[in-house]
Amino acid sequence: MTLNRRLYDLFLARAQKVTIEILSLGLGYTAVTTSDGGIGLAYTYFADKKSCMILNKHIDYEGRPADRLLAKIKSDNTVERSMALALINALNYRNAMNLPDDDDNKIMFRKFKIGKGRRVAMVGYFPPLVRNFEQRGVSLEILDISRGLGQKKDFFNKLKNWAQVLLLTSTSVLNNSTEEILANAGQNIQTVMLGPSTPLAADAFEHLPVHMLAGTVPVDKENTLKAIRHGMGTPVLHKYSRKVFLDFPD
């Protein structure tokens, strides 16, 4: 996948200069901290467990150069990619901390004119956004295979011929569907990649029709790591984080 390769190339030099301090593989999210003070999150993506083993090989990444884990962004194992994406977000921590906030999504709504009658396609089910859209009278089409929402063929047709805005969960990076989904997007559609997994690095998306990145930057590391260990999800993690955005020029 081109996106995986671009992420690897973009962060390789940085990964070679730092070590991993903590790798916390939680049931909901994964967190990685690095020796330069970074911390990053990513959704823990795995199918139904069939045994006590999630990974096929025991590798202790902690205390070692980060580039070894970075390489797993190209792995076929989604758990390894989850760990690598969390690392990428840790490596990008300083840059992400300098991005502006959009805690209530007002900037995103204004930029993409999300209001009554706007036609929005959503990959991944985001309950707070869905409730907001319903209140605003937004026309919404959702695809979330894990929840049994939508049919891929029908959704892609809507994406190509109907939708004006696409909200795409960054979990798509972990199941390698980002590029497939965007290949079916209409020519004039505007796309936001969003969620705690989002790598807030514009260069990684230069080959794709993406217009905004909306992600999560932890500010309370101790409580973030505790929440990860306790299997908590986005609502709890946002208590200890900033919601930030990276807007691409029109």
Q: Is residue 185 exposed (0-12), middle (13-18) or buried (19+ Cβ within 10 Å)? A: buried
Q: Which amino acid type is present at position 26? A: G
* Domain locations in the chain as residue ranges: 2-93, 106-219+231-247
> Look-up: residue for tokens 């045994």?
51
Quick one: CA torsion of 214, 205, 80, 147, rounded to 10 degrees?
50
Q: Which fold has domain 2-93?
A: Enolase-like; domain 1 (3.30.390)
Q: What's the CA gap between 179 and 113, in Å, rounded?
A: 25
Q: What's the CA gap between 115 and 25, in Å, rounded?
A: 38
> Does 51 have pLDDT greater than 80?
no
* Most distant CA pair in the chain, distance: 52
Residue 162 has, within 13 A of its CA and on its CB side, a CA count of: 15
- Going by pLDDT thresholds of 50, 70 and 90, the confidence category of residue 55 is confident
The residues with which 20 forms a beta bridge, in sequence order, are 34, 62
Quick one: CA torsion of 42, 247, 2, 154, rounded to 10 degrees?
80
Q: What is the pLDDT of residue 152?
A: 94
57 or 67, higher pLDDT? 67
Mean pLDDT over each residue of the chain, to the nearest integer: 95
pLDDT tens across 93-148, in order? 999 999 999 999 999 999 999 999 999 999 999 999 999 999 999 999 999 988 89
pTM above 0.75, yes or no: yes
Q: What is the pLDDT of residue 49?
A: 67
pLDDT tens across 33-44, in order? 999 999 999 999
Cβ atoms of residues 45 and 78 within 8 Å: yes
Distance of CA 133 to the CA centre of its chain: 21
The CA-based angle 235-238-239, given to 5 degrees, is 95
Q: Same fold for the domain at 2-93 and the one at 106-219+231-247?
A: no
Architecture label for domain 106-219+231-247: 3-Layer(aba) Sandwich (3.40)
